[in-house]
Each structure stands twice: as C-alpha cells, then as structure tokens.
Structure 1
C-alpha cells in the first residue's frame, strides 16, 4: 500500500478549491512561507487551498498523479462547486498532464511558470515544424509530456491562468505553452524562475476574478 499524500490546507468554508502541486524539491510549506495562503485569505475568502507534497521518486515512478486523482480530486468533486488544479514549474507540467489525461477531473488550471517538458520533447515538436504541424506517433503518446502537447493541439476550453517571469530560463517554452490558451489567460511578471515572480503572478491570479464571493 502506498503512503497517503501529505497536504497542507487552507479551509475557509469556500465553495471552490484550488489544489497546488509543488515544483521539484518544493514542499507544501513553501507555499505558506511565500504568502500564498495568507494572500488567499485576504483576497479570496471563498477559495480553499490544498498544497500537496509530491516527492520526485513518486513523480518519476508515475504514482503521483493517480494518487492526486484518487485521494484529492475525486473526493473534492463531491464537496466543492468547482475544483481547480495548479502548480509551479514541474507542478505546472503535472497539472497539464492531469488535464490532458483526465480533463473532466478539474474545472480550471492555475499554471505558474509551468515547465514545458524536456528538450527531447520540445525539440521533436520543433523539428516537425511546431505544434500545429507535428503529428504524434503511437510511441510518443505513451509519454505524458508528449500527451500534454498533443492535448494542446486543440486549444483548451478550460478556464485557465498561465504565467511566467519574463527572465525565466524556460520562458521560450512557457510562452509556447501559453499561446495555446486565449490571450486573456496569459500573464508575465518581472523576474526569473523564482519566488518573487511567482508571488507577483499569484497576486494577479487572485485578482483575476475566477472565484467571485
């Protein structure tokens, strides 16, 4: 039996829930230390948060998202009006993986500096002439990163917020991800692949009006 996922929650009695997936080597406590919970309390009192602890071994072994789906998303669908999924960096890519494989499991996406995938993935798509020209092979569709880009070939209809720091080292790939969403979903902030940029984007997300009281 696998261990139950460890989470930190902000429970305000809200009708909406945002599940936050961490970046590599990140813990749920990092969201709290960066002020994500306290700012949500101030700006969005109708929004509950659930930050998840996912270690890299569980992610690389393919166990992370099935556990998130089983232990968090599925029960939350019964208890909340809407369930959004979000994450930072690798967590943003994982959120996209969940949306690609199980689009009916969530109602929206909050992607802060989502990692666009390995060079093996992005170079293959670029070599094919870009996402619109690229046709996934059966072998590629066994890989979750390629499945994300395949899902993005048709612009998603899910409500979304996607943003990154303008000096982020992965900015080019993140911009390509963002361009698959409507212009109103796309945001940038000063900074790089770091907490100051993500905090700025978090403020923008809370101000975007996705969760009216």
Structure 2
C-alpha cells in the first residue's frame, strides 16, 4: 500500500489549484526555493498551489501516478472549481501519464521541460516516420510511456495547456515533439538548459499568460 503523499501547500481559497509534480530526485521545497510560490504571491494571483513529494521507486510501475490521482486530484476536485496538473521534467511526463488515463480530473496542464520518456518509445515513433504514422501494439500499451505518446496522437483541444522548454535542453528534441501536439499559442521556448534558470523563466511566462485572475483584496 502506498504511503500518504507529502504535500507542500499554499492555499487561500482560490477557485484554481495547480498540483506540481517534481522532477527526478527533487523535493517540493525546491519549488519554494526556486521562487515558484513567491512569484504567484508577488503577482497577487488567485491560484492555490500544491507541490507533491514523489518516491522515485514508485514511478515506473505507475504507483506514483495512481497515488497522485487518489490522494491529491480526487480530493481537490471537491474543493476547487478547476484543478491544473503540472510538473518539471519527469514530473511533466507523469502529468501526461495521469491526464492520458484520467482526463476528466485535469482542467489544465503546465508542462515545464517535460521529459520525453523511454528511448524505446521515441525511437519506435521515429522509425515509423513520426507519431501520426506510429501505431503501438496492444501489448506495448501496458507501458506508461507508450500510453502517453498514444494519447499525444490526438489530445483533446479543450483544456488550457502551457508547454515549454529551454533551447539548449539536452531533451529539447523530444520536448519539441510533445509541444507540437498542442496549439501553437501553448508552446514556449526560452534560452537555457535543463535547469532552474530556464524553468523559472517558463514559470513566469505561465503565470503571465492570463489564466488566473487577481486575488481579491480580502483573500
């Protein structure tokens, strides 16, 4: 049985909540130390935040994604009008995994440098001539990364999406392929590598994109 997830929250009763999933070996506190929480506060946005601690040992078999669904997303749907899901690097890939399996739980996506996943999958897509020409086998769909890319073949166009990465990111090619599955206005590319300076720039762009109203003075 999964242990209760540790969450770091900043909530003031906003109608929107963004659940943030960390990259590999990151802590929820890293979001705070990088200024993510402070930038929401500085802008006075009506946006609640919840950063989740993820045990890396539970990621590959899907237990982490299921724990986020059960322990965080389902309760959040009872307390907030719209629940966003987002993450950095591996957290971005897990965001897509959860959204592909349970799209009804996710009202918006914030993908910052989303890790493209296994090369076995991305190489198979390349050999097929691209994602639109690729058809995974039924057996391969048991793999979470394969399910993510299968979902990316035709993601629903209705939910708001932000997806971005640094131009010098070592995974930039795969990240660009993910971004291309969403509308052009959703895609953002900045100078930088797979590191916090680029991620902070992308976070600022996300917050300035107009998705969230200003917080009321009494909040």
Q: What range is the shorter-chain TM-score in?
A: over 0.9
> What are the within-5 Å matches in structure 2 for residues 64-143 of structure 1?
64-143=64-143
Q: d(CA) in 2 for partners of 1:2 and 1:116? A: 26
Stretches of structure 2 lacking an aligned partner (at least 5 in a row): 215-219
Please say which of residues 53-62 and 164-173 is displaced more in the overlay.
53-62
Distance in 1 (alpha carbons) for counterparts of 2:28 and 2:18: 13
- TM-score normalised by the chain length of structure 2: 0.95
Deviation (angstroms), 1:55: 1.4
**In the alignment, is the contact (CA less than 8 A) between 2:45 and 2:213 conserved in 1?**
no
Deviation at 1:212, TM superposition (A): 2.0
Instruction: Output the CA distance in 1 between the equivalents of 2:156 and 2:95.
Output: 13
Specify the alignment match of 2:40 in structure 1: 40
Q: Report the Cα offset of residue 140 of structure 1.
A: 1.4
2: distance between equivalents of 1:17 and 1:124?
A: 36
- In the comparison of the two structures, how many residue pairs are matched? 213
Q: Which string of whole-angstrom CA distances, capped at 9 and with x for unpartnered residues, describes residues 133-154 of structure 1?
A: 0011101111111111111111
Measured after TM superposition, the shift of residue 60 of structure 1 is 2.4
Paired position in structure 1 for 2:162: 161
Of 38-47 and 113-122, deviating more is: 38-47
Structure 1 runs of 4+ with >6 Å offset: none
For the 8 Å contact 1:156–1:181, the answer to whether it is kept is no
Q: Pairwise CA RMSD of aligned residues?
A: 1.0
What secondary structure, in the 3-state scheme, does the structure 2 residue paired with 1:87 have? strand
1:31-57 deviation digits (Å, cap 9, x = unpaired): 000000000112253100000000110
C-alpha deviation, 1:62, in angstroms? 2.1
* Residues 166, 101 of structure 1: alpha-carbon distance in 2 compared, 3 angstrom cutoff: same
Distance (Å, rounded) in 1 between the aligned partners of 2:120 and 2:2: 31
- TM score, norm. by length of structure 1: 0.97
**Counterparts of 2:199 and 2:162, CA distance in 1:** 12
Contact 1:21–1:95 under 8 Å retained in 2:
yes
How many Å apart are 1:11 and its aligned residue? 1.1
2-structure distance, mates of 1:178, 1:61? 25
Q: Secondary structure at the match of 2:203?
A: helix
1:3 is aligned to: 3
